[in-house]
């Protein structure tokens, strides 16, 4: 079954959904289907249960970070230079928002075919990072979605147990994001030792010793 027929099947059965085929130029030829988050659970349930496909096995859930880019373009603008109107080139810079993406690789254990690849994107990378969880449809997504929440910061609505899974609970950031910067010291705590060191440093400065 080609991706085009899968797309039309979904469109016929899930009213109102917005789908887009994302083509993959690499020799693997694994094209994917971008689905809209609002209908994701309905689409997933349809793909799992509908007869010709029966994608009962959600193998892999991946988070991908696409940070915003600065796009600079040259624009010609008419300007008054020394009282004469001239065409001047100007560089205009625009910042795109960027987004976080979640990719699901689906197989069928019953019919032994696959993969069918679904993608979903958040609106941006800051505070509109909510996506519906597909764990109620495929339980296998439970730990993998928790991992994406932990490492990328996507919030899965409807996930039964959304907690950090690999990093510790008090950890703040999302280390798999492209712009993550590792702190110098994860477990910095001021200790009495620091005061002693500071006094020793001052002493050395006073004494003129480096």
Taking residue 87's Cβ as centre, other Cβ atoms within 10 Å add up to: 9
Distances (CA, A) of 182 to 63, 68, 164, 172, 176: 20, 20, 18, 11, 11
Tokens of 150: 């932990």
Helices 40-49 and 3-13 cross at an angle (nearest 10°) of 110
Indicate the residue among 76 and 112 with the shorter CB distance to another protein. Answer: 112
DSSP conformational letter for 40: H
Q: CB of residue 139 vs another protein: minimum separation in angstroms? A: 4
Task: Based on the shown chain and the rule CB under 8 A, indicate whether residue 59 belongs to the binding site for another protein.
Answer: yes
Indicate the residue among 143 and 195 with the shorter CB distance to another protein. Answer: 143
Exactly one of 37, 68, 158, 175 binds another protein (CB under 8 A); that residue is 175
* Binding flags for another protein, 114-153, as an x/- string (CB under 8 A): -x-x--------------------xxxxxxx--x---x--
Exactly one of 5, 8, 13, 30 binds another protein (CB under 8 A); that residue is 30
Task: Based on the shown chain and the rule CB under 8 A, indicate whether residue 45 belongs to the binding site for another protein.
Answer: no
Task: Based on the shown chain and the rule CB under 8 A, indicate whether residue 58 belongs to the binding site for another protein.
Answer: yes
Using CB under 8 A, which of the segments 1-9, 19-27, 68-76, 124-132 binds another protein? 19-27
Indicate the residue among 121 and 144 with the shorter CB distance to another protein. Answer: 144
- Contacts (Cβ under 8 Å, ≥6 apart) of 14: 39, 42, 43, 46
Beta bridge partners of 100: 65
Indicate the residue among 11 and 111 with the shorter CB distance to another protein. Answer: 111
Burial class (CB in 10 A: 0-12, 13-18, 19+), 29: exposed
């Amino acid at each position: 079954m080609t991706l085009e027929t899968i797309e039309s099947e979904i469109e016929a059965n899930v009213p109102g959904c917005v789908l887009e085929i994302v083509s993959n130029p690499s020799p693997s030829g694994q094209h994917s289907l971008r689905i809209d988050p609002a209908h994701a659970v309905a689409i997933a349930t349809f793909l799992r249960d509908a007869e010709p496909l029966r994608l009962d096995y959600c193998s892999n859930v991946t988070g991908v970070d696409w940070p915003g880019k600065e796009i600079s373009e040259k624009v010609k603008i008419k300007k008054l230079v020394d009282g004469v109107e001239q065409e001047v080139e100007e560089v205009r810079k625009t910042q795109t928002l960027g987004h976080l993406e979640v990719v699901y690789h689906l197989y069928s254990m019953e019919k032994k075919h696959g993969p069918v690849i679904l993608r979903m994107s958040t609106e941006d990378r800051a505070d509109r990072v909510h996506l519906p969880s597909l764990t109620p449809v495929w339980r296998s997504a439970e730990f993998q979605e928790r991992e994406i929440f932990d490492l990328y910061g996507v919030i899965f609505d409807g996930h039964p147990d959304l907690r950090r899974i690999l990093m510790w609970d008090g950890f703040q950031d999302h280390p798999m994001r492209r712009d993550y910067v590792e702190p110098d010291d994860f477990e910095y705590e001021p200790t009495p030792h620091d005061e002693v060191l500071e006094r020793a440093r001052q002493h050395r400065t006073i004494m003129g010793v480096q």
